[in-house]
Amino acid sequence: MPVFSFKALKEDGGAEGGVIDADSPKEARLKLKGRKLHVTELEAIAGTTGGAGPGRKRRAPLFRRRKVQEIAVLTRQLATLLGSGIPIMGSLAAVIEQAEDLAVKGVLLDVRDRVAQGSTFSDALEAHPFYFNELYCNMVRAGEASGALDKVLFRIADYMHAQHRLRAKMVAALTYPIIMMIIGTGVVFVLLTYVVPKILDVLEKQKKGALPLPTEILLTVSGFMGTYWWAFIIGGVALWLLYRYVVSTAGGRLWVDTRLLDVPVLGPLLRKSAVSRFAVTFATLLESGLPVLDALLVVKRVVNNQLLANTLDVVRQRIAEGADIATPLKSSKVFPPVVGYMIAVGEESGHLESLLKKVAEAYDEEVELAAQRLTSLLEPVMIVFMAFVVGFIVLSILLPILQMSNI
């Protein structure tokens, strides 16, 4: 059933807003009128319009970020309610009341309607892949099959929080260098295309004879950038489109991901992050009751690296042929050897999930250290580079002035 966000005026003159599910805008207005509300705004929430028949998936809304933290919080609340013995419909109704984001609330309303029409909870979630990915839905399906849905939802919430923390560490490590690079590039571009040409034009008119070599170089570069500035924009857009095309192909994505892992400092950070994601996801899926082969099929889609995903494909094939998990992982040479040895110990002792979590914890710490190392390396390098560029500009401007003062 479609879901609409609304703003309305109450009889006492106060304002009220929220969401309401109805088959059409007209029906929504009639429902709100029945609540003695005068509708001022009514809009269908993206991703919730259309029929809610089983198996029908919603398109991901454009220009909307997935509310990971809110979904994690709502998942934990739902787990608590189910664990208290409240039926799924009652639990969903309570969680819907707690949702703050209108789009998330609309999605949950649609999920509740699907469950009311006879769909399983996992199938209802699967209709909204933008908010509930494959891993989430598969874990819920395993929880439904095992009768431990509340425990599985607790694990999903813990997993989402852990992944959010890991992603936050990566973003924090790369944000400052990227901002420095953007601001520095912008400042240099403005200097070379606007400030420097005016200064050099005055110097050329007053200076008799040849200009110093650094000034000539700066004049050439500045003139080229001032005349062909549009070429840099077109070139940047073309490179971005080329990159997007390359990574959209299987071979191109594999080549890019392989090269990224070989980049000094950044490569180890990305590898450790991917290994941590593999370990915690694999452990969470196994704890939720998914078979090893099904769990690996989901895990390979969340490691976010095609080389590691292809390696997990090979591991999965070897396991299907009768091998254990550790042997093909160790022979792949892609995952660190310690991961293979820890998994081997876990398989022998019967505590694979707990050992995988220890691997994830260890690599989380490694990610934090690698992120700090990357930041501490990039900051001085970028400062020295910007100092060299600005120093060259200043020197190129001062040299002809000094020559003129000596004459």
CATH code of 299's domain: 1.20.81.30
Main-chain phi, psi angles of 336, to 5 degrees: -55, 145
Q: Is residue 90 part of a domain?
A: no
Q: What is the pLDDT of residues 350-376, one digit of tens each?
A: 888 888 888 888 888 888 787 777 777
Residue type, 124: A
The DSSP element (H or E) to which 206 belongs, if any, is: helix 196-206
Q: How far apart are the first and last CA of the chain?
A: 85
Within a domain: 183: yes
CB neighbours of 196 closer than 8 A, spacing ≥ 6?
218, 222, 393, 397
CA-to-CA dists, residue 363 to 29, 56, 159, 263, 366, angstroms: 54, 39, 15, 19, 5
Tell me the sheet residues that pair with 18: 6
How many independent structural domains does the chain possess? 2
- What domain range includes position 28? 1-44
Give the type of residue at 263.
V
What is the model's pLDDT at position 21?
67
Spacing of C-alpha 183 from chain mean position: 23
321: helix, strand or coil: coil
Backbone angles phi, psi at 59, to 5 degrees: -75, 145
* Nearest residue to 223 via CA among 200, 197, 187: 197
Specify the pLDDT at position 240.
92
As given in the structure block, the two tokens for residue 190 are 């403005």
Strand partners, 37: 10
**Residue with tokens 């608590």, as numbered in its chain:** 80
Residue 191 has a pLDDT of 80
Q: How far apart are CA 167 and CA 159, in angstroms?
A: 12
- Whether residue 325 is contained in a domain is answered as yes
Q: What is the CATH number of the domain that holds 39?
A: 3.10.20.730
Kindly state whether residue 97 falls inside one of the protein's structural domains: no
Q: Which one, of 118, 87, 113, lies nearest residue 19 by Cα?
A: 113
Q: How many CB atoms within 10 Å of residue 128? A: 24
Alpha-carbon distance of 272 to 364, in angstroms, equals 8
Encoded amino acid at 228, one letter: Y
Q: What gap in Å lies between CA 335 and CA 356, rounded to an integer?
A: 13
User: Do the domain assignments include residue 24?
Assistant: yes
**Does residue 354 lie within any of the structural domains?**
yes
* pTM for the predicted model, two decimal places: 0.66
Q: Give the pLDDT of residue 207.
A: 63
* pLDDT score of 58: 52
Return the SS3 of 246.
helix
For residue 377, the tally of other CB atoms under 10 A from its CB is 14
pLDDT, tens digit, 9 for 90 and up, residues 198-225: 777 777 776 666 778 888 888 888 888 8
Nearest to 256 by CA among 299, 312, 305: 305
Q: Is residue 348 part of a domain?
A: yes
Length of the chain equals 407
Is the separation of the CB atoms in 110 and 19 below 8 Å? no
Q: Is residue 245 part of a domain?
A: yes
Q: At what angle do helices 250-262 and 266-287 cross, to 10 degrees?
A: 120
Low-confidence residues in the chain, pLDDT < 70: 1-4, 13, 19, 21, 23, 44-67, 206-209, 405-407
Q: What is the reported pLDDT for 339? A: 86
